Amino acid sequence: MAALAVSPPPTGTHIVATLFYSTTLPPEARIHPDSTHHNPHDIIPTASLTSLTHGSVPTENIDNYPLEPPTPGPNPLDHLYGSYISRGCLTSFRQALAKVIPNFHDKSVLEKALDNPSWPRVMEVTFFIPTGSQITVESLRRNETISRYEREWSIETVFQVNDVWRRYKRLAVFDMDSTLIQQEVIDEIAREIGVVKEVSAITAAAMNGELDFEESLRRRCALLKGVPSTVWETLKTRITLNTGAADLVRSLKKLGFKTAVLSGGFTPLAGWLAGELGLDYFHANHLVVSADGATLTGEVTGEIVHAERKRLHVLDIAAKEGVSLQQVIAVGDGANDLPMMGVAGIGVAFHAKPRVQMEAPARLNTSTLTDVLYLFGLTKEEQEELLR
């Protein structure tokens, strides 16, 4: 009896893709008239010209006859197969990988549900990029075939090299405004004196990368001249943590992480937030207070925590703590967070501005910050254990 041929184990770069089912849309947002329920007992409304919409009056010109409502377009595939990561979704992902990666070894693919084994919404898929291939993690993140797959199945995919550094991070660095908290602090200050529209316009341009951050900060701060210095205490009552922020930090601390907030906002609130969450480091900007301590002058003093400064703070904190940059995760939402994401082992754009989502190493638009923990391979059950 001839011996069965055994395929040699694959060699190359071991990759892990974390798949998040991300849609919150109903299965069919538009109800087509033909899909509505009818029965013989329905009351037929009385015909009336007053009920006709503009342009629908009777006509002998066939070109003016109203067209039938369009039939519904094709449903996204997740609506066809189910609002979770279905077997069809996973098969389609393998097919996309096979199109993108030459000599793709399908038999080496492993799949693992990280939340619900029966109806998973988060999964890990591991595979190999063959030795000598021109495909990299970066090119997978920006590949059009992968992007099309994500759109078709309502999936967000985070690609990482599946090594020890991916699983054992030691330093987590966060932006503050619109990342750890829901507000943009400078906009909230501006609201106190009625200049929120002017400040918000500059903020949006800066976060989208359309304005130099330092220039935009000084322009916005100048508009805050005369705000009472008690504004910080007022704002503390308004600040709302993003969903999952406190649980994420608590989990990270239990895992032995050092944590930091690096903010383009201001020290009074960054320091307060660091204390509330138990963060180890905080860096932010300093607003000048008038000589009598009553109002803000609209000036900024000291170092400006702009994009490059955030990057340098990541390098400094990692060096101080003896942490390899491969063991750093950086999370933010603005263009000024991209440099610190770039030096970290993994940079995550969380509900970020469009340009940031395009350029960041990874993006997440899920409902809670605790989903970051899935990127380390932690299951839902393990995450719940950390919070007990």
Note the pLDDT of residue 59: 52
Answer whether residue 244 is part of any domain. Answer: yes
CA distance 224 to 303: 19
CA distance 271 to 284: 8
Q: What is the CATH number of the domain that holds 249?
A: 3.40.50.1000
Query: Looking at the structure, do residues 265 and 187 belong to the same domain, yes or no?
Result: yes
Note the pLDDT of residue 40: 61
> Residue 278 phi/psi, 5° resolution?
80, 30
Query: Looking at the structure, do residues 180 and 321 belong to the same domain, yes or no?
Result: yes
> Residue 149 phi/psi, 5° resolution?
-60, -45
At 29, list the tokens. 């947002």
Note the pLDDT of residue 63: 57
Note the pLDDT of residue 83: 81
Query: Looking at the structure, do residues 157 and 181 belong to the same domain, yes or no?
Result: no
SS3 for 15-80 is EEEEEEECCCCCCCCCCCHHHCCCCCCCCCCCCCHHHCCCCCCCCCCHHHCCCCCCCCCCCCHHHH
Query: Looking at the structure, do residues 227 and 373 belong to the same domain, yes or no?
Result: yes
Give Dmax over CA atoms of the chain in angstroms: 96
Answer whether residue 209 is part of any domain. Answer: yes
At 130, list the tokens. 């063959």
- List active site positions: 175, 177
Note the pLDDT of residue 188: 92
Query: Looking at the structure, do residues 239 and 260 belong to the same domain, yes or no?
Result: yes
Answer whether residue 357 is part of any domain. Answer: yes
Note the pLDDT of residue 64: 53
Domain total in the chain: 2
CA distance 134 to 147: 19
Find out whether 344 and 325 touch, Cβ atoms under 8 Å.
yes
Mean pLDDT by 10 residues, the chain (388 residues): 61 95 55 49 59 48 52 56 87 97 94 96 97 95 94 95 97 97 94 91 81 89 95 95 98 98 96 98 97 96 95 98 98 95 98 92 96 98 97
Query: Looking at the structure, do residues 118 and 175 belong to the same domain, yes or no?
Result: no
Note the pLDDT of residue 297: 96
Residue-number span of the structural domain to which 83 is assigned: 12-22+76-162
Note the pLDDT of residue 200: 87
Note the pLDDT of residue 56: 45
Answer whether residue 241 is part of any domain. Answer: yes
Answer whether residue 47 is part of any domain. Answer: no
Query: Looking at the structure, do residues 152 and 256 belong to the same domain, yes or no?
Result: no
Query: Looking at the structure, do residues 244 and 372 belong to the same domain, yes or no?
Result: yes
Note the pLDDT of residue 158: 98
Query: Looking at the structure, do residues 177 and 205 belong to the same domain, yes or no?
Result: yes
Q: What is the CATH number of the domain that holds 124?
A: 3.30.70.260
Domain boundary among 141, 162, 183: 162
Answer whether residue 103 is part of any domain. Answer: yes
Answer whether residue 177 is part of any domain. Answer: yes
Domain boundary among 117, 139, 162: 162
Note the pLDDT of residue 4: 59
Query: Looking at the structure, do residues 192 and 126 belong to the same domain, yes or no?
Result: no
Note the pLDDT of residue 127: 98
